[in-house]
Structure 1
């Protein structure tokens, strides 16, 4: 059967997509990549990833029955989560393992919400998680960091226009996905230089028969896998 040509119709290609839709699709990804890839921007934005990292430790500590004492976030973008309980065993292992995978898994989960047209839910959930971290934060810089991040998300959720809200939601997902990969690489660089003897990977090596390098590789597989899966979802959207 031959095809028919309609003078007023034409096929839709990528180049025919509305400009606004292209910006929402690719702009946030590019912006998030630059925030993570450029050193000076990364030093400013990395605190958000640290919040997710320490929040991961805290959440798993609570879920495994440990008593959470507090969270500290420092101006050098490092952080510390203190919990009480058995110094060994599965609870301690899962708590130590949660930090480096938390930003990536959070980004993947948020990407699922965004592609499911649940942008507001994603933003509200982010605000709720930040509020939970804020309650357990025990230093001034940490409180300021969490409040500043939460204030931006509150503004986006309640006051931004729909296109801006969508773009910010996409960008936040991309930032967590990209931002989950770089700290793993930085961790291994510090380990090569013998500057991270107390890292999560080294703690896990002491708690288990698995060497620290294997834990770093596990962190890398989770972070890169989340980036591939989450990125595919966002670009497919």
Structure 2
């Protein structure tokens, strides 16, 4: 249990400290753009490519009805994708499916690699996939578990911060074409509503994922000395 808590505090430190966040934020961008891409495929939009940039931004290019439900779902999937992925990973980790989680991540990265359209994006995915493969193939199960817990905490915590940053940029007029503002134009519902919805989903995923990781139903009785 202390290792799980330590992994959580380590992930929180990485997300909270600006220099480390600037370096690691690209991993959240991979999940963000992957969410757009998956939503586009599921809504039968044509996926033309994904670009990842060195400033940790990214773009997913799709083609189809510019105002339909598919476009709304695709635009709305990005900011919640890291948190939802983190929740799914928390469920697998808590259930003991560490190896399945690692190989599932590798499969998702491989699928995403096929759609990358710039050199930096290719390098980013190969580096990330190489690290995951090394952990899954060359380390012991205990090491895999620690890495998995840290990665899940990072996704859950790291999924919240970009949403807060988004709203700050919107207040300063620095994000006129953000996902939230695109959704506002598509639905005529204010962008602030969409930011709040993104934040609600991410915080809920963090709470639920944390509950699974820490196994609170078992921890609380033990902490109070009851059955």
Name the TM-score class by shorter chain: over 0.9
- Give the number of aligned pairs: 216
SS at match of 1:136: coil
- The 5 A counterparts of 1:12-91 are 21-23=1-3, 25-91=4-70
Aligned to 2:88: 109
Moved over 2 A (4+): none
Q: Return 5+ residue gaps in structure 1 as ranges.
A: 1-20
Q: How far apart are the structure 2 equivalents of 1:176 and 1:65? A: 27
SS at match of 2:133: helix
Larger Rg: 1
- The 5 A counterparts of 1:1-237 are 21-23=1-3, 25-236=4-215
SS at match of 2:51: strand
Q: How far apart are the structure 2 equivalents of 1:32 and 1:157? A: 20
Q: How far apart are the structure 2 equivalents of 1:28 and 1:160? A: 17
SS at match of 1:47: helix
Q: Return 5+ residue gaps in structure 2 as ranges.
A: 217-227
| 1:32 Cα deviation from its structure 2 partner | 0.8
Q: How far apart are the structure 1 equivalents of 2:172 and 2:112? A: 32
CA RMSD of aligned residues (A): 0.9
| 1:209 Cα deviation from its structure 2 partner | 2.2
Q: How far apart are the structure 2 equivalents of 1:184 and 1:113? A: 25
